[in-house]
Structure 1
Amino acid sequence: MKRPWIVIACGALIVTLAMGVRQSFGLFLPQMSAGLDIGRESFGLAIAIQNLLFGLAQPFVGALADRHGAGRVIFFGALLYVAGLVIASSVGSALGLHLSFGIMIGIALSATTFVVVLGAAGRVVPPERRTLAFGIVTAGGSLGQFLVVPAAQMLLGELGYRMALIALAGLVALVAALAVGMAGKPAAGPSRMDMKQPLGDALREAAANRGYWLLNAGFFVCGFQLVFIGTHFPAYLNDRGLGLEVGASALALIGLFNIFGSYLFGLSGDYLRKKYVLSGIYVARAAVMLLFLALPLSSGSALVFASVMGFLWLGTVPLTSGLVGQIFGIRYLSTLYGIVFMSHQVGSFFGAWAAGYVFDRTGSYDIAWGAAILLGLVAALLHLPIRDAPVARLQPA
């Protein structure tokens, strides 16, 4: 078995590159909409399809990783990601964008990001350090956003969106090389009952658990909030006269501050009850969005908002995945968390597409902002009744 630090380091770098490129896609909205002569709804639909496929493929990709190992899944996912970016750089219609940017990259993301990587990391660290390890890997996605988004903005300005996508494809190709650090079939879990349980029994056990469905519902809200902001916030600021440069800086600050947020929330999950920390994150997000909208808009307020939201951005990932492992064990962590992440991406679909749909018909994002705030409060309440003790199968006699 590989040393834990190798798996965690390679996993963090893989998520850095895969998520960093993905988080830059909102910057492409103005140029690609104009270049392809499509509306924001069409571009938003491509991102929505991407997020939906990102989620729908997770249970199947997670099951493949649980059976055959994370390395192989990540390698082939990276190749598909590269192909999607290259094809997206040459398409001339909304349909081509939906096929490449949407379907291909959506499936590729499911194989190169959190579900597969966290499943591998969870097996090489002891339970008392598992959520912290998840936080470190999650912080990699934020580091990628901080580093890649400004680079993508520079490439867009210098080369245009077509060559910028080719350059980003070169970055993603590095993921295939890093997959070597994740290679190897998954070892059995520490519990004998964890080892013997068939996949079908694990799925039925989760389906009968009310807390598992509440986690699914809460993560739907997370997906809606993050992808709405990640896809439409740069355009929102540009519409209000602040320019795309402020939008790029805002996305970069989200990534920078989420490095600290992911680490600290991951650390907190090893000492505090994860469900209460999750409720606090959703309440805080709703309050921050409401305050941002209530205050006069300026470059300063946009960047402060991005910094605070960044701290709260992906803190839900180590806590939610940690809860799944805590309740059900780690043998099928990639599969079970993959289903929860699928719910996240269904929310992401609506965050990307519905916000664009509303804007094209009303000329405003006000309804989308209101929905994001209200859903945040609902998610805070949903986590409170979750029973977070391990299932009876994993408890000592």
Structure 2
Amino acid sequence: MGFVHVHLIPYVHDVGFTHMTNAGAQFLLALVSIAAALMTGRVSDRIGRRRPMSLTFSWRGLAYFGFMMLALWPSPLLLYAAVICMGLSWSSTVSLLATTCADLYGRRSQGSVFGVVFGVMNWSAALGAWLPGYLFDVTNSYQSALLANVLVAWVASGVVLWLSEWWRPQQQMVGTAD
């Protein structure tokens, strides 16, 4: 996600979009992200965590693939499709990871476990901002960084789908502790 935080706006501008189109795409990404986070949490409470998490990583890979294709076909339709895919995956991972931590380690440990997971996510985002910048400096292109993001996202999607389901529906009672 570091690429999106740091490099997406200059990349979209470099492939020929106006500042207004770029701003509209960023706004759409944010709106879809909020809706997707709420929807993903609700869906995962009903069907489990594994399939929504795998789908989230698939959407992310598809978004990065769309960003790659913008260099070949810089159309607003492709830009908006890619940011919608990114929005579907952006905040969804947070709700899925938080609930997964609770599922696997219990609510009493959720704060500690999710704190470690979220810390690793931030270090990964920092690397995801630095590495594309380095690759851009070396190659004068973002394509290798985008391809790496596509591959990582789709491998993550496959790995999560390959895992056995760890979520079990439980009757939640108000006022009880794990």
Report what 1:77 is aligned to: none
Report what 1:283 is aligned to: 58
Task: Tell me if 1:260 matches 2:52.
Answer: no
CA drift at 1:267: 0.3
CA drift at 1:294: 3.4
Report what 1:250 is aligned to: 25
Match of 1:372 among 146, 149, 160: 149
Question: CA 1:288 to 1:241, structure 2 compared with 1: closer, same or farther past 3 Å?
Answer: closer
Task: Tell me if 1:273 matches 2:48.
Answer: yes
Where relative contact order (Cα < 8 A, 6+ residues apart) is larger, the structure is 2
CA drift at 1:271: 0.4
For residues 296-320 of structure 1, the C-alpha deviation after alignment (integer angstroms, 9 at most, x for no partner) is: 1123321232123212211111111
Tell whether the 8 Å contact from 1:237 to 1:246 is kept in structure 2 after alignment.
Answer: no
Report what 2:163 is aligned to: 385
CA drift at 1:324: 0.6
Report what 2:108 is aligned to: 331
Question: CA 1:289 to 1:389, structure 2 compared with 1: closer, same or farther past 3 Å?
Answer: closer
Tell whether the 8 Å contact from 2:63 to 2:82 is kept in structure 1 after alignment.
Answer: yes
The residue correspondences of 1:11-90 to structure 2 (distance < 5 A) are none
CA drift at 1:264: 0.8
Alignment-mate amino acid for residue 45 of structure 2: D
Report what 1:309 is aligned to: 86
Alignment-mate amino acid for residue 388 of structure 1: W
Alignment gaps of 5+ in structure 2: 169-178
Aligned length: 165
Report what 1:235 is aligned to: 10
Tell whether the 8 Å contact from 1:254 to 1:306 is kept in structure 2 after alignment.
Answer: yes
Alignment-mate amino acid for residue 320 of structure 1: L
CA drift at 1:235: 0.2
Tell whether the 8 Å contact from 1:254 to 1:309 is kept in structure 2 after alignment.
Answer: yes
Alignment partners' CA distance in 1, 2:43 and 2:139: 42
Question: CA 1:379 to 1:270, structure 2 compared with 1: closer, same or farther past 3 Å?
Answer: same
Tell whether the 8 Å contact from 1:230 to 1:251 is kept in structure 2 after alignment.
Answer: no
Task: Tell me if 1:300 matches 2:80.
Answer: no
Alignment partners' CA distance in 1, 2:79 and 2:104: 39
Alignment-mate amino acid for residue 260 of structure 1: A
Task: Tell me if 1:360 matches 2:137.
Answer: yes
So what's the TM-score if we normalise by structure 2? 0.83
- Report the 3-state secondary structure (helix = DSSP H, G, I; strand = E; otherwise coil) of the residue aligned with 2:46: coil
Alignment partners' CA distance in 1, 2:63 and 2:109: 36
Aligned-residue CA RMSD (Å): 1.9
CA drift at 1:238: 1.3
* Superposition misfits of 4+ residues, deviation over 6 angstroms: none
Alignment partners' CA distance in 1, 2:113 and 2:33: 25
Question: CA 1:240 to 1:338, structure 2 compared with 1: closer, same or farther past 3 Å?
Answer: same
Tell whether the 8 Å contact from 2:48 to 2:165 is kept in structure 1 after alignment.
Answer: no
For residues 33-56 of structure 1, the C-alpha deviation after alignment (integer angstroms, 9 at most, x for no partner) is: xxxxxxxxxxxxxxxxxxxxxxxx
Alignment-mate amino acid for residue 321 of structure 1: A
Identity percentage of aligned residues: 26
Alignment-mate amino acid for residue 266 of structure 1: G
Deviates more, 1:367-376 or 1:355-364: 355-364
CA drift at 1:387: 5.6
For residues 95-133 of structure 1, the C-alpha deviation after alignment (integer angstroms, 9 at most, x for no partner) is: xxxxxxxxxxxxxxxxxxxxxxxxxxxxxxxxxxxxxxx
The residue correspondences of 1:113-128 to structure 2 (distance < 5 A) are none
Alignment partners' CA distance in 1, 2:16 and 2:69: 18
Alignment partners' CA distance in 2, 1:267 and 1:389: 14
Alignment-mate amino acid for residue 385 of structure 1: L
Which structure has the greater CA radius of gyration?
Answer: 1
